[in-house]
Every structure is written in C-alpha cells, then in structure tokens.
Amino acid sequence: MTTVPPGTKAEPCARIERGQGCGVERCGLCEARAVSICNAIEEDQLSELARATTVVELAPGEVFRNEGASPEYLFNIISGSVKLFKLLADGRRAVIGFLTVGDFIGFGRPDAVPCSAEALTNVRLCRFERGKFRVLLETYPKLERRLLAVASDEVAAGQEHMTLLGRLTADERVARFLLARAEASQRLGGSSKDLELPMTRSDIADYLGLTIETVSRVFTRLRRKGLIDYKTARSVTLQDRPGLLAISEGG
Amino acid sequence: MTTVPPGTKAEPCARIERGQGCGVERCGLCEARAVSICNAIEEDQLSELARATTVVELAPGEVFRNEGASPEYLFNIISGSVKLFKLLADGRRAVIGFLTVGDFIGFGRPDAVPCSAEALTNVRLCRFERGKFRVLLETYPKLERRLLAVASDEVAAGQEHMTLLGRLTADERVARFLLARAEASQRLGGSSKDLELPMTRSDIADYLGLTIETVSRVFTRLRRKGLIDYKTARSVTLQDRPGLLAISEGG
DNA sequence: CGTCATGTTGATTGAGCTCAATCCATGTGG
DNA sequence: CCACATGGATTGAGCTCAATCAACATGACG
C-alpha cells in the first residue's frame, strides 16, 4: 500500500501565459480542439471562447486542483497527462483516473472539488473561470449538450471501473488497464501496441486498487509469458493482444 | 463470491399504465416531483411532460433494463428501490448502485446501456422514450442544465465509490455503506437511525466488492460492539453514529 | 559519487474468500 | 395445522491471493 505523508501539497505555482495569439487564432489552432468539448463551438465564435480562457503550463508533479476546495476553475487538457486522485485521512490514496489531450476536468458537485489533479508530464491546460464557463454554457446550447454527453460517458466509464475494482483479480485488472491504455493511445492517433505510460507503478497500483509490488509482479509475469515486453518500466509493448484480452476476461 | 448462473434473465413483463390522470394532474401530483429532475420544468408546462411519459409498474426482481442493449428508454423512479448491476462472463456480479425515489436512470454512452437495472421492491417508474426525451431536453434548457448537474454529481459519487472499492477495508466499507444509507433515508424525509434495507446481503456484497459471508460477519461484529442493532437482516438501527463514522474513516 | 526516487524480487503474513453446516423465516401443499 | 421445501442469513474452519516487510537493483540528478 502506497501512502502519502500528510501535508504534502505541491505548490500551485503555475506559469500562466496570456494572450499568446489573440482570439480566433489561439482556439482555432488549438491542438486539442478536434478532441475536446470546444469543438461544439462554431469557428466564427472562437474569439469569444478564447476570451473566456487562459492557457496554463505545468511541470510534472504540480497539483493544480485540490479535493475539497471550492471549484474556481475548470480545465481542458491541451497537451500532456494528468492524474486525478483522492487521499484518505491516513494517507491511503486512490487514483481515480488518468486524463490526456482533450479531456475535461470539472465535473463534481458545485460546492467542492471531488478529487485532486496532478500533472504527470509537462501539461498545457486551457483554464476556464467557473463563472465565465457557466455563461458559455448558457450562451452555447451545443456546448452544454456536448458536456452532458461527456459527463454521461464518464458515468459509464466510472461504472466500468467500479466493476474492475470490486470484482476482478490482479491479473485481470492489469490486463484491462493495458488494453484500455492501448485504446486511448489509438484514439489519439498513436500506436495501439507500443505504449508510453506517463504514470508510475505506484499510480497504477492506486488506480487498480493494488500495491506497487503486485503491479510489478503482474507486469513481470505477463512479460515472462510473452504477452507484453518492455525495456524500461514506462514503455510497454503489447505482444499478444488476444492473450491479454483473454486474461482480462478471466481466462 | 456470489455468482449468477448464465442465462437468468428476468421476464420484461411490466404492467404498464397509461393516462391515469391526464396531463398536468399526473405530473403535478407526482410524489417524486419534488426530488426529481422534472421539477426543472415549470408548472404550466407539465402537460407536455406528461405526454412524453408512461408510468410503469414492476414487481421485485423484474429486470427492466439490460446491459449492452440499445437504450430505448430512460426512467425516473416514482417510488420503490432499484439496483444497477453488471455481470461478468463467468457470472461474477458488480452492483453499481441502489436508486430510489427521484433518481434518474439513463446516463451512459448513447449506443449501449452501461448496466442492467432490477426492481428490489415494487417500483413505479416514469418512462421516457429516448427520442421524446431528447426533444424535451432541447425544448427545456433548464431540464438539460438540471440533468448535467445530476450527471456531474453522479460522476463525483462514482469517484467516491471507486475509492471505497480500491482502498477501504471490509469494516470501513460496511460502515460507510450504512452511513450513506442513513443519509439517503434522511434526505427523503425518513429516519436517519432506523434503516430499511431493500437489498439482500448478496446485493450489498456485490456493491461493496465483498462476499456475502464477509458482509454478514461485519454486520454481526458491528452489532456485538453495539454500533448497530437489528432484529431482521433488512431493518437496521444505527446505535452509535460517531462510532460508525470513526470506523468508516479507518478508526 | 552519493542520494533519492522508482522498480523488482523474495519471504512471510493476514484479511477476506471458499467450502460447508446450520439456522431461520416464509410460503406451499397435503 | 403441520411437514417440508426454499431462499436468505449466519457461523465455523481452512485456504489463498494479494498485502506486508525487507532487501536489493537501477537510473536520474545535483
């Protein structure tokens, strides 16, 4: 079990860039536009969108959203990877999910942020002030519809993960994790075979409800069986997709 | 571990009542209106709402929504209790949640129902055809906003549950479950001390990622310690709330 | 080069699972 | 009204998968 010493709060010292590329240009040229909720907003209204946002840059390890705090900002990920997590009073940690390009950060009750968010890599975020975001939602029904669809997806994904946490064995969990990663990679135009894992074994363990040691053991076991391969812990190759699928389904 | 013999699909033979109380009356007098998403729709437009809905009655055990199927209908619970669940190929089951009066059933990807739904008690449902519901959303922005808020809540609740499943001990899980039940009961105007549990130990186990036996053991352990009491398995009294809270937090 | 974070591997332990017996409430048919 | 089947719940005994404890390897970095 990984535990976090209480009182380890990363500095919220994010470098902020403003107004690089005014209005339409910035949002129009945004690398995440194609896969983010922003594409619910028409080309000719992008300048209004740009005016409501600030681009933020983060280094690995920076925590930019704290569980329990009042949700001042909402975010879209422009580039890089992020993890969401919750801490228990005694330091136990649960990683709720890993997010990347195009993903939206901001669901939850209106009064308190449901979980903390930390940059895994260098990250560029598109930041919305809460009030301004609400106005955007009211102005652009398409955006709201889009967001509802995304939230609805998120609910389903959460249910899937609950099933994993409640009922799968360690091997099944890791196999599913790798397959899900492969799918995510593919969705963003990357390889579905060679995976770059931006998170540590500890993050994976806290995500899968296991310990670091167990995750490590399952990885080596899968490697010995020839289902995966890797030179470094962070870059894995899926050698036998059907085999992984079989394991992920309890084979 | 509870498993379900493959091929056990309950008959979808729901008694359907139509047009009892026309238009405004039915929705206006609905017992669930105060706590459901429908209250986002103004009094004077309730007849349109009523026209889009059908009231359905179910007996305990009836499955009215199947994981993987195309989502033809969405529901609001008027009365009674429902469980959502997922089955694995080998019969393992994960209970995703328990729903009651006012709760909405219908989030998920647009192509496939994320989990099955079964009546725990006698249940009255307000059923929306998918197409008609979409029209309602487009017609009443307030309804859409409301639904987004509910979905957003659901995301947060799901994250909470993932933390429970991934990182809590059996005792902590059961304690949290009981406290959550108490809160839910109170929210609907019931007692926060005397709980009626509409679900079996098996349901609770599949919800908490435990086995029936473990759930049973924790219940008796909590009773021996004087934290709870019960005559029948289904009706529990919380004797020592602070004690339960302490346990739920790892005390 | 030493330090620190991360990852791997081994040995042992233990919380929760499995298997099995029993209990108990409810319903059913003779 | 009783016998008995049935489905849920409880309890005990033993086992197992993953956790814990511990040692060591590796690699990045000042």
Using CA atoms, how far apart are residues B55 and B127, in angstroms rounded to an integer? 6
Q: Taking 50 as the threshold, does the pLDDT of residue B118 lie above it? A: yes
Residue appearing with tokens 């310690």: B225
Query: What's the rounded Cα separation, in Å, for the pair A132 and A51?
Result: 9
- Average pLDDT rounded to a whole number, residues B145-174: 98
Place of tokens 């030179």: A231
How many angstroms separate the CA of residue A21 from the nearest CA in chain B? Answer: 32
Task: Give the per-residue pLDDT at A92.
Answer: 98
Question: Which strand D bases fall within 7 angstroms of a protein CB?
Answer: 8-13, 17-22, 27
Confidence at A19, pLDDT banded by 50, 70, 90: very low
Residues of A whose CB is below 8 A from B161 = 158, 162
CB contact under 8 A, B89 and A147: no
A208 CB neighbours in chain B (<8 A) are 166
**Kindly report the CA angle at B133 between B132 and B136, in degrees rounded to 5?**
90
Q: Which residues in chain B touch residue A138, judged by CB atoms under 8 angstroms apart?
A: 141
Q: What is the mean pLDDT of residues A41-68?
A: 94
pLDDT digits (tens, 9 = 90+) for A145-188: 999 999 999 999 999 999 999 999 999 999 999 999 999 999 99
Whether A10 has its CB under 8 Å from any CB of chain B: the answer is no
Q: According to the model, what pLDDT value does residue A1 have?
A: 53
Could you say which of B92, B162, B168 has the minimum Cβ distance to residue A158?
B162
Is residue A13 scored above 50 in pLDDT? Answer: no
Among all strands, which nt has the closest C1' to A208 (CA)? D18
Q: How far apart are CA A123 and CA B48, in angstroms?
A: 47
Q: Which residues of A touch B156 (CB under 8 A)?
A: 107-109, 114
For residue B14, give how far its alpha carbon lies from the nearest alpha carbon of chain A (Å): 26
pLDDT band at residue A251, thresholds of 50, 70 and 90? Answer: confident
Task: Please report the pLDDT score of residue A25 as a whole number.
Answer: 75
Q: What is the pLDDT of residue A248?
A: 98
- Domains of chain A listed by start with CATH number: 15-154 (2.60.120.10), 168-248 (1.10.10.10)
Average confidence (pLDDT) over B5-13: 45
Location of structure tokens 């990683």:
A95
Q: What is the mean pLDDT of chain A?
A: 92
Task: Write down the pLDDT at residue B9.
Answer: 41
State the Cα–Cα distance between residues B248 and B251, nearest whole angstrom. Answer: 7
Residue range B162-174: mean pLDDT, rounded:
98
Residue A74 pLDDT greater than 50, yes or no: yes
pLDDT band of A52, cuts 50, 70, 90: very high
Do A37 and A148 form a contact (C-beta atoms < 8 A)? Answer: no
Q: Chain B: give the shortest CA distance to residue A19, in Å.
A: 31
Q: Does A167 touch chain B (CB under 8 A)?
A: yes
Task: Using alpha carbons, list the distances in angstroms from residue A119 to A56, A148, A237, B12, B202.
Answer: 12, 25, 24, 47, 40
Structure confidence by residue, pLDDT tens digits, B35-89: 999 999 998 999 989 999 999 999 999 999 999 999 999 999 999 999 999 999 9
The pLDDT of residue B7: 43
Say how far apart CA B115 and CA A162 lie, in whole Å. 12
Return the closest-CA partner of residue B245 out of B179, B193, B166, B200.
B179
Burial of B48 (C-beta count, 10 Å sphere; 0-12/13-18/19+):
middle
The distance from CA B244 to its chain's CA centroid, rounded to whole angstroms, is: 23
Given this model, what pLDDT does residue A11 score?
42
- pLDDT tens digits for range B200-220: 999 999 999 999 999 999 999
For nucleotide C9, the protein residue with its alpha carbon nearest to C1' is A217
Length of chain B: 251
pLDDT in tens, B185-194: 999 999 999 9
